[in-house]
C-alpha cells in the first residue's frame, strides 16, 4: 500500500476493521501496531478544521486535523471512517505527517494549510511523497443541492437519485498540485470504504455506530 513512500526510514500503516476506535481513542489490539512506539503518539483531536501543526512532543492536540513532526521517535496518528487519510513523507529527511481530510476540511483548505506549514519550516513541497489512503470514492460520495457549490464542478457529476457524486480524491490531487506538490509523487488507494463493508468502517453506511480506522506514520527503529 505504501510503495510510493521512497524514504526507507519511514514506516506507514493503515489499520482497518481489526482496529476498533469509538469516540475517545480505544485500541483493542496493540499487536497490530507493535512496530510503533505507543508512548510517543502525536494525535490531533479532529474537528474537521484546517488546523495543521508541527510538534516534536507526543500527545493530543486540540482543534487540529493534521500533525507533522521531525522527531524520529514520534508516530503521527489519525482516525477516519470515510474521510481521506493523507500521508506525507519527505524523500530523505525525518520530516513526515498525516492529515485528516473530510469534505469540510478539504473545501475549507486543510491541504493548503499543510503546504503553508511545510513552507514555514523551509521545506520544498516537491520533496514530499504523498499517499491518500482508503476513503469514500466517487461511486458512493453523494451530496445534495445545498452543498454542491462548495466543490469544483469539474469533479462533480449528476447521480441517478437526483443528487450529485463527488470525486474527493481527484479534488485532493488537484489542490495538492496547485499549491506546489509534485503530482507524480501522489498515490491514491482505490479502495472505497463505503463499498468494501467487509474491510472498512464507513460513517456514511453505519452513521453513529461506525467504528474508526487508523492511519499511522513514523520512523523505523
Of residues 202, 200, 169, 201, the one with CA closest to residue 186: 169
Q: How far apart are CA 188 and CA 172, in angstroms?
A: 10
Task: Answer yes or no: CATH 3.60.140.10 is held by domain 10-135+168-219.
Answer: yes
pLDDT in tens, 81-100: 999 999 999 999 999 999 99
pLDDT in tens, 6-19: 999 999 999 886 65
pLDDT in tens, 207-221: 887 888 899 999 986
| 127-139 average pLDDT score | 97
Residue 17's pLDDT is: 67
Which of the two residues, 207 and 174, has the higher pLDDT score? 174
For residue 28, is pLDDT > 50?
A: no
Q: How far apart are CA 76 and CA 54, in angstroms?
A: 10
Amino acid at each position: 500500500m505504501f510503495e510510493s513512500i521512497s524514504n526507507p526510514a519511514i514506516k506507514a500503516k493503515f489499520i482497518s476493521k481489526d482496529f476498533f476506535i469509538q469516540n475517545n481513542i480505544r485500541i483493542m489490539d496493540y499487536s497490530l501496531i507493535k512496530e510503533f512506539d505507543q508512548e510517543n503518539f502525536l494525535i490531533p483531536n479532529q474537528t474537521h478544521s484546517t488546523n495543521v501543526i508541527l510538534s516534536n512532543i507526543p500527545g493530543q492536540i486540540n482543534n487540529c486535523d493534521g500533525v507533522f513532526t521531525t522527531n524520529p521517535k514520534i508516530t503521527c496518528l489519525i482516525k477516519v471512517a470515510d474521510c481521506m487519510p493523507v500521508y506525507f513523507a519527505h524523500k530523505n529527511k525525518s520530516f513526515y505527517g498525516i492529515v485528516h481530510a473530510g469534505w469540510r476540511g478539504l473545501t475549507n483548505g486543510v491541504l493548503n494549510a499543510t503546504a503553508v506549514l511545510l513552507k514555514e519550516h523551509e521545506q520544498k513541497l516537491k520533496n514530499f511523497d504523498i499517499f491518500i489512503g482508503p476513503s469514500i470514492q466517487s461511486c458512493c460520495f453523494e451530496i445534495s443541492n445545498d452543498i454542491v457549490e462548495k466543490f469544483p464542478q469539474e469533479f462533480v457529476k449528476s447521480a441517478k437519485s437526483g443528487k450529485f457524486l463527488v470525486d474527493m480524491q481527484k479534488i485532493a490531487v488537484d489542490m495538492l498540485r496547485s499549491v506546489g506538490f509534485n503530482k507524480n509523487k501522489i498515490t491514491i488507494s482505490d479502495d472505497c470504504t463505503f463499498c468494501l463493508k467487509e474491510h472498512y468502517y464507513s460513517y456514511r453506511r453505519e452513521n453513529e455506530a461506525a467504528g474508526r480506522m487508523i492511519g499511522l506514520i513514523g520512523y523505523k527503529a
